[in-house]
Chain A
Amino acid sequence: MCDTCGCSTEDWAVLRKPGQSDYHVHVNEHEHAHGEHHRHEHGDHHHEGGGRKVVLEQDVLQKNNLLAERNRGYFEARKIFALNFLSSPGSGKTSLLEKIIPALQQRFPVAVIEGDQQTTNDAERIQALGVPVIQINTGSGCHLDALMVNRAVKELDVEDNSLLCIENVGNLVCPALFDLGEALKVVIISVTEGDDKPLKYPTMFHEADLCILNKIDLLPYVEFDAAKCRENAMRVNHHLEWFELSAKTGEGLAALQEWLEDKLAQH
């Protein structure tokens, strides 16, 4: 149930803005007409023969994919450069955004969409930087989808020629399957996670354009082979751009910053 208006929203995502407790928008996916469904009791199966086969050959994620393409078209028309940040919980997505946005903001308008199951904590951290931000709370949902982003962008009023950073829900599995319409997928892994992570979650690394190894300030204290991790990631996706940095100390940030600025300028 929605804690703000009391409506039943178990399966819907909710958009929120930090500091505006009376603001919230439900992302309502579809209105099912369940009423007229034919039900039959078990035991009266007549599966043998009789049925008619209808060929569909339809992508399971077709609906999401179509909406993602609409988002993409909208972003392209308005020269909005959208990045989808993906990682396990705690790898440093929000910390990285806090670090790179102040400099990027000098050159381009920046806006942020924050995805989390609950709380507006991350949106509050981003709002402190003075950029427009909206929080998507997915509730039980473990990923953002194209519809949520579509609604969030409308609520957010993203400027033309801007950088839009989308922080996905912390999860290395299914966000890889849901295209949001972004220009690039950025996957973040930290040195406390194990250098075989790209092999354990190959789909995510296969789909990504950029891989950032974060928390390299902790390398002296953990058993983590950065070169091996990179090699594993490259095995899964040889097109991957690779960066190593610390969102805490700022080491290695300049290279990423420069790469992003180049991409933005070309966009």
Chain B
Amino acid sequence: MHEMSIALSIVEAVEESARKEGAGWISEIELLVGKLAGIEPESLKFCFSAAAKGTLAENAVLAIEEPEGVGECGECGITFPVNFYYAECPACRSLRVKIISGEEFLIQSMTIEEEK
């Protein structure tokens, strides 16, 4: 369900920009959804088609890139893959781990088409 309100936010944001650009319709939307962002891409795609009905984004393709989680150890400074379940430094066992990638949740770009 929360993917639905998120899908609506995406549609709203791209429509607003598309109107400013004078677009006829939106053919593609590129999203960056980090593996740790708490968003299920499949469910987002599903909700998107419903959320976009009757808007400029109705026929847009959702292209989702999913950056892996990366942590940085606050003790020894190394970086390593994380998925939250083991947010522990593999080198020194410290739990002082800062997430430096994987929490992204961005609309990267949209591709707009002329009125046909």
Contacts and interface: CB of A to CB of B under 8 A. Distances in A.
Given A42-B59, A173-B38, 16 more contacts: A37-B56, A40-B59, A46-B116, A52-B113, A54-B111, A57-B106, A59-B107, A60-B6, A60-B106, A60-B107, A63-B12, A141-B5, A203-B84, A206-B84, A235-B86, A238-B96
Contact of B38 (A57, A62, A176): A176
Interface of A: 30, 32, 34, 37-40, 42, 44-47, 50-64, 140-143, 145, 171, 173-174, 176-177, 199, 202-203, 206, 234-236, 238
Interface bracket on B: 35 or more
B84 A202 contact: yes
Nearest to B113: A51
Contacts of B38: 173-174, 176-177, 203
Nearest to B97: A238
Interface string B77-116: 0000000111110000001110000000111111111111
B112 A54 contact: yes
Contacts of B115: 38
Query: Which 6 pairs, one residue from A and one from B, show the smallest C-beta to C-beta distance?
Result: A174-B2, A203-B38, A202-B84, A51-B111, A238-B95, A142-B1
Given A202-B84, A203-B38, A235-B88, A54 B10 contact: no
22 contacts: A38-B25, A38-B56, A38-B115, A39-B54, A42-B59, A44-B116, A47-B28, A47-B61, A54-B109, A54-B111, A56-B107, A58-B106, A60-B107, A61-B9, A141-B1, A141-B5, A142-B2, A176-B38, A203-B36, A235-B84, A235-B87, A235-B88
A229 B108 CA distance: 38
Contacts of A42: 59
A234 B113 contact: no
B31 interface: yes
B28 A30 contact: no
Contacts of B2: 142-143, 171, 173-174, 177
B9 A64 contact: yes
B106 A46 contact: no
Contacts of B95: 234-235, 238
Given A59-B105, A235-B88, A51 B112 contact: yes
A118 to B, nearest CB: 15
Contacts of A59: 105-107
A54 B54 contact: no
A199 B83 CA distance: 10
Contacts of A63: 9, 12-13
A52 B2 CA distance: 30
A113 to B, nearest CB: 19
B82 to A, nearest CB: 10
A58 B9 CA distance: 11
A54 B1 CA distance: 29
B105 A51 contact: no
A39 B58 contact: yes
A203 B58 CA distance: 30
A234 B95 CA distance: 8
A174 B4 CA distance: 11
B104 to A, nearest CB: 9
A75 B1 CA distance: 29
Interface in B7-61: 9-10, 12-14, 17-18, 21, 24-25, 27-28, 31, 36-39, 54-56, 58-59, 61
